[in-house]
Amino acid sequence: MSKKIELALVYRDMWQSSGKYVPRVDQLNKVAQPIIDMGCFRRVETNGGGFEQVNLLFGENPNTAVREWTQPFNDVGIQTQMLERGLNGIRMSPVPKDVRKLMFAVKKKQGTDISRSFDGLNNPQNLALSFQYAKEAGMIAQAALSITVSPVHTVDYYIDLANKYIDLGAEEICIKDMAGIGRPASIGRMVKGIRSNHPNILIQYHGHTTPGFSVASSLEAARNGANIIDCGMEPLSWGTGHADVLAIHEMLKDDGFSLPDINMDAYMEVRKLSQEFMDDFLGYYINPKNRFMNSLLIGPGLPGGMMGSLMADLEKNLSSINKWLTKNNKPNISQDELLIKLFEEVKHVWPRLGYPPLVTPFSQYVKNISLMNVLQIIKGKPRWSMIDENTWSMILGKSGKLPGKLGDEILAMAKEQGREFFEGNPQSLYADELELYRSKMKEKGWDAGTDDEELLEYAMHPAQYENFKSGKAKTDFLADLEKRKAGTNHPSKAGGSGPIPVGGTALPNEMNISVDGEKYNIIIEYPGMDVSTPNSKSKNTPNTKIAASEIEGAHFVLAPLEGKFYLTKDSSEKPIKLGDKINKGDTIAYIESMKVINAVVSDESGTVVDILANHGDEIEEDDKLIALK
């Protein structure tokens, strides 16, 4: 008798692992029926992770997207699943308890059947509420083991972790091999151990293909008792994504497993539509290098899901560091050289940060510190001089207990800076906020939405939601898209050859665009070009900087890195203002860069006589931010 196994399509993760955005709701609606017609999927991953955030970023209501996208699958009995980050909900930072609870209730009512919950540190205490709230909402509570390879992350460690999750209420287990670095034999032993302890638990394997192990790992997982294998499909399979369903299907069938046939006409339709979405706009946000497998990642173990943002970060920082090298009469470096330096630095940084599993958000923290170290070393400065506030929270235990020991230099820095370690339950650090955001919505005249879904989005993603409501998100997105169309080849058609010469054509710096009957005035900025307009409201323009430099006797606090400037990091803080007394070492502002918040620390004492950047401005490294006297 043949063994039965089933497949899940991770359509959301296919896009997130490749680039910045996911398809619009009209595109998702278009592709849903062909996915159903393929006839081979038990489950489809529809939302969660960064889905809601990226919808907000291009000016689309994520609640509409989730409801409309899940409905066709609900109608035919294909289960829908989402990814959620435990303490962090569906964002990169911790979420209050009442917001977490509302999230599960809303997502179930919107049509999501399964919550795949993971904790970036594999801390059971951070997932206990996820399991409880998921089940109370009527969802299936699936616990994900975040797979990484280190001296502390052994097969026995993960078997024991599965036991703890199940004891806390998890109804299913996912082997979440987010970097695809789980060695196939070890994955097999892991599944076998969990199956031996829990004969009736459903086990799902999720592996990215980046370094090349995942096809063999899928087979080992299946042979040892996994029930469902996650897969992707062309044109976004392989690379930093997932193995293609055709390969997984034939491999399992050849090994004697029983699973439904694939309707190839429907497969080709989904493939064609996905390519159309890339040709429409999504391809402009997919780095072609993410379409290739890279066994160099076996060493650093960085996950496929963050490679899209990693390559974007490298591009930005490469430009910045090469400007610095040119200014200092040093030879420029290539992106590949920077990438290898980063991978080597991850090997140095990771154990000293206590071996956090390399999964969102902690993979970002390890990568960011490593990249900042590389940039500082290139400039002749010491390591660890730029540790962002999110990483410090992890180091200090505010996200839960780290699996390994911190390095001596990290402990010494914490002591020197007077930072205190936390050993309690991280959830206790974050007070309930739903009523605060409900009152803010009333003040603004905004409706809380069906089932309080708009309230959830505002409380979960405050800044992005405000930009969505004001129209700024759509305006910014359209401006960025026009810039990419004007200055680059389309990656999905041209193989990502990067910037192309503009020749003698004058590029527009302002244009009017009509979208769905709404008109938008777009100001377009190009790297290295001054296209500032008289109507620009930003204080951080070349003219402002020149005026600022003439403040007699002033000391300027400079931006330590490029990113988005903020005077505060949350609503509980008060921003600095003119006349404030500042001491050397004080945190006076923040820069959001590479998905984390970096403190801007004053290098001198003095009185604030000018603030040269607006809250929310995009700034460059070494821009003048604050003038002191």
pLDDT digits (tens, 9 = 90+) for 407-436: 999 999 999 989 999 999 999 999 999 999
User: Are 185 and 283 part of one and the same domain?
Assistant: yes
Please state the rounded mean pLDDT for residues 525-547: 37
User: Are 337 and 285 part of one and the same domain?
Assistant: no
User: Are 91 and 51 part of one and the same domain?
Assistant: yes
Indicate if the pLDDT at residue 477 is higher than 60: yes
Confidence of residue 159 (pLDDT cuts 50, 70, 90): very high
Alpha-carbon distance of 240 to 248, in angstroms, equals 16
Tell me, yes or no, whether 442 lies in a domain.
no
User: Are 135 and 213 part of one and the same domain?
Assistant: yes
Looking at per-residue pLDDT, the higher value among 87 and 520 belongs to: 87
| Full-model pTM | 0.79
DSSP-based three-state secondary structure for 561: coil
Tell me, yes or no, whether 236 lies in a domain.
yes
Query: Do 463 and 501 contact (CB within 8 A), yes or no?
Result: no
Which CATH number characterizes residue 607's domain?
Answer: 2.40.50.100
Tokens of 307: 């490679």
Q: Closest Cα partner for 239 from 189, 310, 341?
A: 310
Q: What was the pLDDT predicted at 424?
A: 93
User: Are 144 and 26 part of one and the same domain?
Assistant: yes
Query: Tens of pLDDT along 446-455?
Result: 999 999 999 9
User: Are 87 and 206 part of one and the same domain?
Assistant: yes
User: Are 122 and 269 part of one and the same domain?
Assistant: yes
Indicate if the pLDDT at residue 168 is higher than 90: yes
Domain containing residue 341: 300-429
Query: Tens of pLDDT along 578-618?
Result: 999 988 878 889 888 766 777 888 888 999 999 999 888 88
User: Are 285 and 323 part of one and the same domain?
Assistant: no
Tokens of 74: 């609900």
One-character DSSP codes across 33-56: HHHHHH--EEEEEEEETTHHHHHH
pLDDT, the chain, mean: 86
CB neighbour list of residue 415: distance below 8 Å, 6 or more residues apart: none
CB neighbour list of residue 118: distance below 8 Å, 6 or more residues apart: 83, 84, 85, 86, 127, 143, 144, 145, 146, 174, 176, 359
Q: What was the pLDDT predicted at 564?
A: 86
Q: What was the pLDDT predicted at 534?
A: 32
What single DSSP character describes residue 2? P
Which CATH number characterizes residue 100's domain?
Answer: 3.20.20.70
Residue ending a domain, choose from 408, 429, 450: 429
* 327 burial level (CB within 10 Å; 0-12, 13-18, 19+): exposed
CB neighbour list of residue 269: distance below 8 Å, 6 or more residues apart: 34, 37
Residue ending a domain, choose from 378, 397, 429: 429
Please state the rounded mean pLDDT for residues 294-299: 78
Tell me, yes or no, whether 454 lies in a domain.
no
CA 182 from centre of chain: 21
Please state the rounded mean pLDDT for residues 291-297: 81
User: Are 186 and 66 part of one and the same domain?
Assistant: yes
User: Are 305 and 252 part of one and the same domain?
Assistant: no
Please state the rounded mean pLDDT for residues 54-65: 92
Tell me, yes or no, whether 441 lies in a domain.
no
Query: Do 502 and 575 contact (CB within 8 A), yes or no?
Result: no
User: Are 329 and 254 part of one and the same domain?
Assistant: no
Tell me, yes or no, whether 451 lies in a domain.
no
Alpha-carbon distance of 590 to 575, in angstroms, equals 10
| Dihedral of the alpha carbons of 394, 399, 401, 402, in degrees to the nearest 10 | -40
Report strand pairing: 3-4 vs 257-258: parallel
Number of structural domains in the chain: 3
Indicate if the pLDDT at residue 240 is higher than 50: yes
Query: Do 624 and 558 contact (CB within 8 A), yes or no?
Result: yes
Confidence of residue 33 (pLDDT cuts 50, 70, 90): very high
Q: What was the pLDDT predicted at 92?
A: 83
Least confident segment among 87-96, 116-125, 302-311: 302-311
Q: Closest Cα partner for 228 from 262, 190, 208, 201?
A: 201
- Helices first, then strands: H and E counts in the chain: 22, 20
Tell me, yes or no, whether 484 lies in a domain.
no
User: Are 365 and 266 part of one and the same domain?
Assistant: no
Tell me, yes or no, whether 471 lies in a domain.
no
Residue ending a domain, choose from 398, 429, 460: 429
Tell me, yes or no, whether 77 lies in a domain.
yes
